[in-house]
Amino acid sequence: MTAPPHATAAAHDSGVRARRSFIFTPGLNPEMFPKALACGADMVCVELEDGIAPKDKLDARRKGLALFAEPPGGGIECIMRINCLSTAFGLDDVQAVLAAEAPPPALMLAKVKSPDEIAWLDDLLSERGHACRLHIIIETNQALEAAHDIAHASARIDALFFGGIDMAAELRCKSEWRPLLYARSRVVHAAASAGIDAIDVPYLDLQDADGMVREAELARDLGFCGKGAIHPEQIPLINRVFTPDAAAIDRARKILKAFDQAGTGLVVVDGKLIEEPVLREMRRIVSVAERVAARR
């Protein structure tokens, strides 16, 4: 499947925002939503999928959708994770979103297998007139194989999330950094090709803060822009790893200024030759830093 002409990297250049951290909150327990919004995460995702038992799906869907009746505000990106689109629960979720007068600002799609699923949902949302953005979890082997095409399947897509737990089960490997490095790299490459964000899987050992920080740093250096959390205690550490430091911000601004003044495709900054393709990353660093500062 080839990328539709409207789903290009350029379409996303103006949509840079801080996505350093995210946390789930169960749709079944709406009283937990305000606490999640206040925990410091850049993204809060209302959960309808794995965290909800089959007997509670209907109740969670009803209560979860009700949370979006009024925009939460505060500059936090709010998402709702719906069930796999190839399941009855997922189809029920889609029908409920389409029927809603105030749908979630964004939907997270679980266990995606092909770009066709995303294109189908995009068409339905467009027909209804809903502006929902999309976040796609790459957690199946089929999705990993089609990651590039999935990333380009809709101009609504803002990020690819790496679902390491399910991916490890599918690949029959340990859920550790080294065995999953190839899979993580495929997700980063696919996201970069579409000019969208890549966000890493949560670290499941709440008692190992040092291990989580090390994995977050590895993910950052590989090209991820953020990482999930399973508990609010992890959020400050994750945010710190994925927030550009003062030196990085100063360098980015210096490079942008140099290109602006030079009007050429390459410049020399601090004795190093810098070419034009780095500009988007420099703009991203400055934009994320400004958005983080504005929320403080």
Q: What DSSP line would sit under 171-233, residue for residue?
A: HTS-SSTTTTHHHHHHHHHHHHHHT-EEEEPPP--TT-HHHHHHHHHHHHHHT--EEEESSGG
Q: Residue 84: its pLDDT value, please?
A: 97
State the average pLDDT over residues 159-177.
95
Render pLDDT for 61-72 as a digit per residue (tens, 0 to 9).
999 999 999 887
Give residues with Cβ within 8 angstroms of 121, minimum separation 6.
Answer: 85, 94, 107, 109, 134, 154
* pLDDT band at residue 10 using 50, 70 and 90 as cut-offs: very low
Q: Residue 13: its pLDDT value, please?
A: 41
* pLDDT band at residue 289 using 50, 70 and 90 as cut-offs: confident
pTM for the model stands at 0.88
Rounded-to-integer distance, Cα 229 and Cα 224, Å: 14
* Amino acid present at 122: D
Per the structure block, which two tokens stand in for 27? 């749709």
What does pLDDT average to over the chain? 91
State the average pLDDT over residues 78-100.
98
Rounded-to-integer distance, Cα 7 and Cα 14, Å: 14
Q: Residue 15: its pLDDT value, please?
A: 62
* 281 or 158, which is more confident: 158
Render pLDDT for 187-239 as a digit per residue (tens, 0 to 9).
999 999 999 999 999 999 999 999 999 999 999 999 999 999 999 999 999 99
Q: Name the residue among 156, 150, 155, 162 with its Cα closest to residue 199.
A: 162
Q: In this prediction, what percent of the chain has a pLDDT beyond 70?
A: 95
Q: Residue 6: its pLDDT value, please?
A: 35
State the average pLDDT over residues 235-257.
93
Residue 2 has pLDDT above 70, yes or no: no
